[in-house]
Amino acid sequence: MPSACITGVGMYVPPRVVTNEELRTWYDTSDEWIYARSGIKERRWAEEPASTAELGYYAAKEALQAAGKSPNEIDLIIFATLSPDLYFPGSGVLLQHRLGLETTPALDIRQQCSGFVYGLSIADQYIRTGTYRTILLVGAEIQSTWIDYNPEGRTVGVLFGDGAGAVVIEACEGENRGILSTHLYSQGAYAMELCVAEPSSATRAHTLPGSYGMRPYMNGKEVFRHAVQRMGEAVQVALTHQGWRPDEVDLYVLHQANIRIVQAVAEFFSLPMERFFNSIHKYGNTTAASIPICLAEAEREGRLRRGDKVILAAFGSGFTWGSAALIW
C-alpha cells in the first residue's frame, strides 16, 4: 500500500497589509487589545477584483512548481473553504478550470478551520487505496468580504484575514515518510456557536441571538474553551497513535485562531513555544488556509526538513476538529 507524501507546498497572501491600527477606522478597538487577546498584529485583505478560487490558484501554482508537477498530472482537487466564490457550485471547479483542466474531479469540503486536516485525511485514503496518485489540496479564504464592519462586529472582525495555502500529495513507496495517521471529529450540537447563518435554505427561523443574518456570529468564550480542550485532545490522540512522546515531535503546526490557544496546548504538554510554528501575528485567522500557509513558511525558513516528525491539529466552526501525524 503506498503512503501519501506531501511533495510540494505553496502559499499566497494578498499584498495589502491591514494593521490593527487601521481597523480602528471601523471599530472601537486598539492594537493592545487585539494583540493581547489574540496575538494578531496585522492581516492581509484581498483587493477587488479577487476571488477565493483565484487566491487558491496562486498557492496551487507554487505548490505544483515545488513538487515539479504540471496541472494535468493532478488526479483530484480538494478545495477547503468557508468563503466560496459562489453559494454553489464550489470553488474547486473554478480552480480546476483556472488551472486549464478539462475533466479532473474537484471536491469541495466545508469544515472551516479544520478543512485542511479533513482534506489531508481524504487525500490519504484515496492514495492508500490506490484510487489516485497525485492530489492537489487547497485551503483558501477571502474573509474581508463577509466581516461585519458595524461597531458590534469588532470581536470577530479583528480576527480574520485573507490568504491561501496548497499542498501536492503524492503516492510514495518505500520512502519511510508521509501521512501516518489522521483523526477527525465533529460535534454539531455546537453548530450555531460560530456561524454565518445566511444565505440559508432553512425554512425555520434561526435561533441566533439578535438578528445576525449574513453577519458572522461567534460565542467567543465558549468557542475558546472548546478549542483549547479539543486541540489538546487532537494532539494527544495523534501522539498516542504513533507512540510518540510530546518532545519527540520536531514541529507542531496548529490552526491559527488565537495564539492563546497554541500557548495553552504548549503548556499542557510542557513544550516550549519554539516547537510550534505560528504566523497569526502576520495573517490573523485564515481558516482553511492557516495550516498550509504555516507549512509553506516553515519549509522556507528551514524549520521543516525531510524526516521530521510533524503533528498538525485544528479546531473550528461545526464544531469540527482533528489532527494528523506525519513524517515530512
Contact residues: ligand ACO, CB under 6 A: 27, 29, 33-34, 37-38, 112-113, 154-155, 158, 194, 220-221, 223-224, 227, 257-258, 261, 285, 287, 316-317
Nearer to ligand ACO, 113 or 239 (CB): 113
CA torsion, points 109, 115, 121, 124, in degrees to nearest 10? Answer: 70
Nearest approach in angstroms of CB 192 to ligand ACO is 13
Instruction: State how far the Cα of 97 lies from the Cα of 54, in Å rounded to an integer.
Output: 11
Cis peptide before 319 (omega within 30 of 0): yes
In angstroms and rounded to an integer, the radius of gyration of the C-alpha atoms of the chain is 19
Nearest approach in angstroms of CB 110 to ligand ACO is 11
Instruction: Please choose, from the candidates 143, 58, 56, 159, the residue with its C-alpha nearest in 3D space to the C-alpha of residue 108.
Output: 56
In the set 5, 113, 195, 294, the catalytic residue is: 113
**The three three-digit cell numbers of residue 214, written as one number:** 449574513
Nearest approach in angstroms of CB 284 to ligand ACO is 10
Nearer to ligand ACO, 236 or 285 (CB): 285
Nearest approach in angstroms of CB 283 to ligand ACO is 13
Instruction: State how far the Cα of 121 lies from the Cα of 77, in Å rounded to an integer.
Output: 13
**Chain residue whose CB lies nearest ligand ACO:** 316
Nearest approach in angstroms of CB 279 to ligand ACO is 15
CB of 156 within 8 A of CB of 218?
A: yes
Nearer to ligand ACO, 38 or 52 (CB): 38
Q: Is 113 designated active site?
A: yes
In the set 255, 258, 278, 294, the catalytic residue is: 255
What region, left, alpha or beta, does residue 220 occupy, with left being phi > 0 and alpha being psi -120 to 50 degrees?
alpha
Q: Is 172 designated active site?
A: no
In the set 20, 258, 278, 285, the catalytic residue is: 285
**H helix or E strand, kind and range, residue 181:** strand 178-186
Nearest approach in angstroms of CB 275 to ligand ACO is 20
Q: Which amino acid, 295? A: L
Q: Is 255 designated active site?
A: yes
Pairing between β-strand 106-109 and β-strand 76-80 as defined by DSSP bridges: parallel
**H helix or E strand, kind and range, residue 25:** none
Nearer to ligand ACO, 155 or 229 (CB): 155
SS3 110: coil
Instruction: State how far the Cα of 61 lies from the Cα of 124, in Å rounded to an integer.
Output: 21
**The three three-digit cell numbers of residue 180, written as one number:** 501516518
- Catalytic residues, by residue number, are 113, 255, 285
